[in-house]
């Protein structure tokens, strides 16, 4: 009896052990808000790429609460400059998110000057600070010690109308020191200023979009009626950023395919749109919600850029080719959600989001998935195909829905002459062009390898057919001869 009982217990233990190890580990925080778009424009689940870790606001920083901050910028040494618009000051935080300095004024030849609702801020590689001092109608250029270098005030030019008032909203400076200003009520693009602060030209105007029905109405309207109608004007930009090479990245709310633009020195849009969809934020949206309203852009290293959708509070990140990498954020009350997101900044594996009404900054860090994907895109962009291959494999293991990652794997396999595997991967990413390239190489190799077999089969077939034809002819002739006899 005792023995039997003991045996039962052993059996039970074995069963528990066997099944116990088989129970899948429940993954913490499966973020339902994280998604991506498939080739068929379906929103498919994706693992979260970034997770909110902390919120910082005035109280936690030990200063007066922020009041309607509008913009911030992270310099190359990870110092954060916040334009606290409502309090007319600039707050400077170090990389551990502690206050280093608060600038409320600067000196113009001994006389103290203050800011008036500064809306935009930019810091260049030499830590010079450029502030769009909106209320004072000027752009202030300070050096690393916050001493004045120059002030850009209302420009005089024949390109500008007489009643134009200069209200700078956002600023950006390229490596050559050219200053780009997004000003209120300017429809001709960004205002470009030379290093000395002289207005040179407008750059990158949005094209006028004409509603065909409205155009037809205008054709039939009288001159008086027409003057009452709204004029067609190009849409204004909503934000700008500059990358290392000096290309301007800009967003607008045009409701078209080019809401994001990469503008070169000539003012042409050179953004690559080779993803399954143009980078426009949400691909699917309801008519009542409307398309994504992109209000800020942050371009990071290796052509990766992120845009902020103020309507849904989501942040979309794309690679240089225009493939959607990941989406996160949202409007709400939980950590990682916002009330009125106004600006984003992206550096290393961090992501900062500035909330205007709440006056707080949410800090995100990349998850393992996000880090791997970032690293994969970076190494791919650098041309390190082997590392990219390996990292994309890891990414795909974490998220099979990320279709464009298979293109990355396929291209690496193509380099290694593994055509058949490459073809399979291109089929996964529905990339016909690359599939075709891989297939041509594969077919050529196949034909070359089996050349002797193929050629001898063809030659053999030709010989046999000729023999049969000749034999038949001879047989026919013989028969005829026989008949004639």
Q: What residues contact 249, with CB distance under 8 A and at least 6 apart?
A: 240, 241, 242, 243, 260, 261, 262, 263, 297, 299, 305
Q: What minimum distance in Å lies between the beta carbon of 385 and another protein?
A: 22
What is the rounded CA–CA span in Å between residue 282 and residue 43?
Answer: 9
> Residue 5 or residue 448: which is nearer to another protein going by CB?
448
Q: What minimum distance in Å lies between the beta carbon of 42 and another protein?
A: 8
Q: What minimum distance in Å lies between the beta carbon of 41 and another protein?
A: 10
Contact at 8 Å (CB) between 342 and 60? no
Q: What minimum distance in Å lies between the beta carbon of 472 and another protein?
A: 20
Q: What minimum distance in Å lies between the beta carbon of 455 and another protein?
A: 18
> Residue 323 or residue 356: which is nearer to another protein going by CB?
323
What is the rounded CA–CA span in Å between residue 326 and residue 390?
Answer: 19
Q: What minimum distance in Å lies between the beta carbon of 418 and another protein?
A: 18
> Residue 37 or residue 249: which is nearer to another protein going by CB?
37
Q: Which residues pair with 51 in a beta bridge?
A: 365
For 348-405, the three-class secondary structure string (H helix, E strand, C coil) is CCEEEEEECCCCEEEEEEECHHHHHHHHHHHHHHHCCHHHHHHHHHHHHHHCCCCCHH
Written as six digits, the tokens of 173 are: 């400076």
What is the rounded CA–CA span in Å between residue 84 and residue 355?
Answer: 11
> Residue 207 or residue 443: which is nearer to another protein going by CB?
443
Residues that bind another protein (CB under 8 A): 39-40, 427, 430, 432-433, 435-437, 439-440, 443
> Residue 35 or residue 338: which is nearer to another protein going by CB?
35
> Residue 41 or residue 464: which is nearer to another protein going by CB?
41
**Residues counted in the chain:** 485
Phi and psi at 148, nearest 5°, equal -65, 135
3-state secondary structure of 432: helix
């Amino acid at each position: 009896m005792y023995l039997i009982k003991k045996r039962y217990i052993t059996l039970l233990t074995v069963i528990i052990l066997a099944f116990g190890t088989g129970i899948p580990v429940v993954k913490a925080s499966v973020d339902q808000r994280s998604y991506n778009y498939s080739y068929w424009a379906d929103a498919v689940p994706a693992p979260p790429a970034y997770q909110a870790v902390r919120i910082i606001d005035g109280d936690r920083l030990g200063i007066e609460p922020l009041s309607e901050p509008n913009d911030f910028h992270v310099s190359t040494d990870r110092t954060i400059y916040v334009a606290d618009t409502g309090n007319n000051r600039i707050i400077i935080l170090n990389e551990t998110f502690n206050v280093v300095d608060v600038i409320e004024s600067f000196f113009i030849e001994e006389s103290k000057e203050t800011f008036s609702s500064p809306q935009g801020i930019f810091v260049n590689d030499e830590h010079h600070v450029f502030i769009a001092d909106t209320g004072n109608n000027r752009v202030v250029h300070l050096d690393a010690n916050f001493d004045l270098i120059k002030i850009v005030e209302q420009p005089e030019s024949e390109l500008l109308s007489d009643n134009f008032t200069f209200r700078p909203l956002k600023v950006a400076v390229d490596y050559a020191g050219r200053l780009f200003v997004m000003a209120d009520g300017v429809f001709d693009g960004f205002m470009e200023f030379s290093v000395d602060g002289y207005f040179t030209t407008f750059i990158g105007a949005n094209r006028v979009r004409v509603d065909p029905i409205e155009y037809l109405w205008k054709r039939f309207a009288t001159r008086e009626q027409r003057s009452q109608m709204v004029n067609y004007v190009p849409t204004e930009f909503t934000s700008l950023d500059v990358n290392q090479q000096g290309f301007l990245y800009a967003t607008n709310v045009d409701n078209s395919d080019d809401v994001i633009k990469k503008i070169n020195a000539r003012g042409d849009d050179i953004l690559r749109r080779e993803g399954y969809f143009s980078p426009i934020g949400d691909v699917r949206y309801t008519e009542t919600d409307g398309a994504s309203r992109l209000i800020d852009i942050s371009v990071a290293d290796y052509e990766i850029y992120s845009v902020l959708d103020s309507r849904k509070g989501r942040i979309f990140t794309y690679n240089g080719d225009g493939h959607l990498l990941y989406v996160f954020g949202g409007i709400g009350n939980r950590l990682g959600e916002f009330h009125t997101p106004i600006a984003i900044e992206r550096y290393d594996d961090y992501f900062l989001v500035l909330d205007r009404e709440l006056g707080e900054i949410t800090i995100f860090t990349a998850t393992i998935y996000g880090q791997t994907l970032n690293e994969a895109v970076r190494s791919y962009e650098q041309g390190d195909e082997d590392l990219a291959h390996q990292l994309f494999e890891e990414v795909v293991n974490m998220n099979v829905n990320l279709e464009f990652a298979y293109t990355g794997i396929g291209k690496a396999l193509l380099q290694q002459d593994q055509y058949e595997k490459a073809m399979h991967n291109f089929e996964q990413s529905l990339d016909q062009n690359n599939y075709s390239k891989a297939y041509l190489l594969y077919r050529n190799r196949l034909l070359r390898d089996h050349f002797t077999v193929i050629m001898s089969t063809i030659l053999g077939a030709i010989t046999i057919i000729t023999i049969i034809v000749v034999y038949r002819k001879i047989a026919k002739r013989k028969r005829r001869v026989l008949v004639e006899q």
